[in-house]
Amino acid sequence: MKIGQLARRSGVNIDTVRYYEREGLLPKAQRLSSGYRVYDESDVKRLRFVKRAKSLGFTLVEIRELLELSDHRDDDMATLKAVAIEKIADIKAKMAELERIRAALETLAASCPGHGALEQCPILNALAEDDQ
């Protein structure tokens, strides 16, 4: 199949296919004498894997590691479970940081009367404070 059909079947756009190929997440495609790339069903499966992994928050570096692990199906699954647990810890840390940011913004918004001169705005004043 050609790149357009691969993109449609895997749910990504053509530029993404090319990018993943450049990044080594997708093997270099065979080329016809006309120069067109040719893909097969294994490429569809691999792109769907990458897309699902991205939707779970894995980075491209992490996805590359997952793909390498998936090439060794006879190995013990402990390594893959450790990767998933590490990703969960990363997500929890990001959620905690976002919660801290939300609380800080709520405090700033609550302190602002919403009218008057901007030079008196507690939000702008808090952002302009020196950290010293």
The answer on pLDDT for 130 being more than 80 is no
Q: Provide the pLDDT for residue 132.
A: 61
User: Is-contact 4 11, C-beta < 8 A?
Assistant: no
| 47-104 confidence digits (pLDDT tens) | 999 999 999 999 999 999 999 888 787 888 888 899 999 999 999 999 999 999 999 9
Question: What are the structure tokens assigned to 26, written together?
Answer: 């997708």
Residue 42 tokens, joined: 């294994």
How many angstroms separate the first and last alpha carbons of the chain? 61
